[in-house]
Structure formats: structure tokens, C-alpha cells
Amino acid sequence: MGDIAVVGGGVIGLTCALGLAEAGHRVEVVADLAPGGTVSAVAGGLWFPYLAAPADAVLRWARVSLARFAELADRPGTGVWWREGIVLHRDRDPDLSWTALVPDRRAAEPGELPDGVVSGVVCSVPVVDTAAYLDWLAARCAGAGVVFRRARVSRPADLPQPTVVVAAGLRSGDLVDDPTVEPVRGQVVRLANPGLTRWVVDDDNPGGMTYAIPRGHDVVCGGTAERGETGLGHDAGVERAVLDRVVALVPSLRDAPVVSRAVGLRPTRPSVRLDRVTRSGQVLISCYGHGGAGVTLSWGCAADVVGLSGP
């Protein structure tokens, strides 16, 4: 099989690299950031198709990932759990297409709904501690023979490999001259977990998107979705507003101490780009624009990348 460079060390790049290596390719991951420094490490890690299109492909990719995470759930070292939670809806006609993928879903009982919420879906899905999971994924890649090189790629043509997978998140647009990639800024605060396992998502909260996702020792609380914003600095006022909304939904978090904080830029695009082109004899496979669903779509997209890597 051929030599392939994967540009990008986040969840998409690493999952693609692992799939390609397991298919028999010689793979090098070239990235300017370690996995823990990517936006993937900021993500709450809940399997949920957020800010990604087109709908049909997103559901197909999410289905593949759901099955793979189910295999990994509760294995030591993976950072993956299978946990119940609730998605709240304030709109009387919400998009429920994703629920077709979840076998144990049910409508929330009236007593489970906060004021102002008209309906909800209770279900069990994967929750991923992204820091632990990225470490596990990188180790799996290394075990499969993937080579890692820390470097900032300016042009795919500068790489010697005949095939290059562009999976560099927000930087992908610059690498392939795509002006449609846009950041959506997200800020989270992680609280010490007082023993919670049930997650909650309230994207339509009038104060702003709100979620609390218990992982192992912490609970990821968010969030924001500031389109076009590029600042990575922590905003104390935003954090106070996030915590006010979260505590209103999960009162047991009121006095939980802060463990850490993070800000990341989701790489959005009108639709995920996953295609293959040839430029000056070099094959370019694009895989970027996953918005807030990189973890959710990772295994499904990687399978398509492997399919595009053949002759």
C-alpha cells in the first residue's frame, strides 16, 4: 500500500491515520500541535451531531461512530463511557432525526422537564473524556506503525507523500484554498464531579446553549457558539453566565470547584468536506468542517477516507 501523510493531530486526523494504517498504508501524521492542544481536547465529548451537515451523510457517519464507541465503552484507558442523559427541547417541532440511531430512546416525562421546556428525549449514548481518548487513540496509532512529526504544513505539495489527507480542522481551508471554513468559538469550564453520571443538553436555552456532561472526575459545563470569533482568551463573564445556566438545570453543581477551563474554535463549513482530488500528481483527500461533531463523526468519516485512499 502507499505512503500517506495525514495533516492534523486532532480526533479526525488520528482516527483517519489509524484506519489507514490498519488498512496497510504507511502513515505519517504531521501536525503543529500535540493532540492535547487541539480543539478536540476542548470538546465535551458527548456523541451528538451538532453544527454539521449534510444531514444524510452526518447520520451515516454518526451511526458508524456510535457502533465503534459502543465497543470501546467502559474499557480501561479509552476514556469512553455509555451513559444516560436528556436532550431538552424548547421548540415544539425539534429536529429528532438523530434519535433514529439510538435504540433505547424515550420521551421525557413531564416531571423531568424544567420550566420553559416543552419536550425532551432521554437516551444513552457515548460520553468521551477527550483528553484520555486522544492519548489512547495516539497510542493505538503508534502501535499500528503510524509515525508522528511535529511541523506546521503550509502546502500539501511540500510533503513528499503521494497522498495527503487534510484533516487540520480550522486550518484546512488555508491548505486547500477553501474560504468557506469559519470558526465558531466555544468556551467551557470543568467542575469537580460530585458523583453525577447523567448528562443534560439544553441547546435552545434562552440564555445561550447549555450543557453539563459528567465524565470521570469532572463535569464539562458549557457553553458558547460565537460564530466568526477567533479569540482563545478566557472570559470570566461568559463563565459566570454559563455556570448560572448550568446550575439552574443541575443544582448539585452549585458549589462544585472549578477543575480547569478551556476555549476552542470549532471548524465549521456549510457542509463537511470529504472528497478526493488530484493536484499536480498528488492525491488530496479532504476531511474537515465537522463543526461541533468531530468526535461524533470521526469513525464514520475515517472509514470513508480509507475508502478513498485506494488506487
For the chain, give the percent of residues with pLDDT over 90: 98
Q: How confident is the model at residue 1 (pLDDT cuts 50, 70, 90)?
A: low
Is the pLDDT at 216 greater than 90? The verdict is no
User: pLDDT tens digits for 55-101?
Assistant: 999 999 999 999 999 999 989 999 999 999 999 999 999 999 999 99
Residue 12: predicted pLDDT: 98
pLDDT at 245: 98
What pLDDT does 208 receive?
96
Please give the pLDDT value at position 10: 98
Please state, rounded to an integer, the average pLDDT across all residues of the chain.
Answer: 97
Inform me whether the pLDDT recorded for 268 exceeds 80.
yes
> In the 3-class helix/strand/coil scheme, how is the chain assigned residue by residue?
CCEEEEECCCHHHHHHHHHHHHCCCEEEEEECCCHHHCHHHCCCCECCCCCCCCHHHHHHHHHHHHHHHHHHCCCCCCCEEEEEEEEEECCCCCCCHHHHHCCCCEECCHHHCCCCCCEEEEEEEEEECHHHHHHHHHHHHHHCCCEEEECCCCCHHHCCCCEEEECCHHHHHHHCCCCCCEEEEEEEEEEECCCCCCEEEECCCCCCCEEEEECCCEEEEECCCEECCCCCCCCHHHHHHHHHHHHHHCHHHCCCCEEEEEEEEEEECCCCEEEEEEECCEEEEEEECCCCCHHHHHHHHHHHHHHHCCC
- Global pTM exceeds 0.85: yes
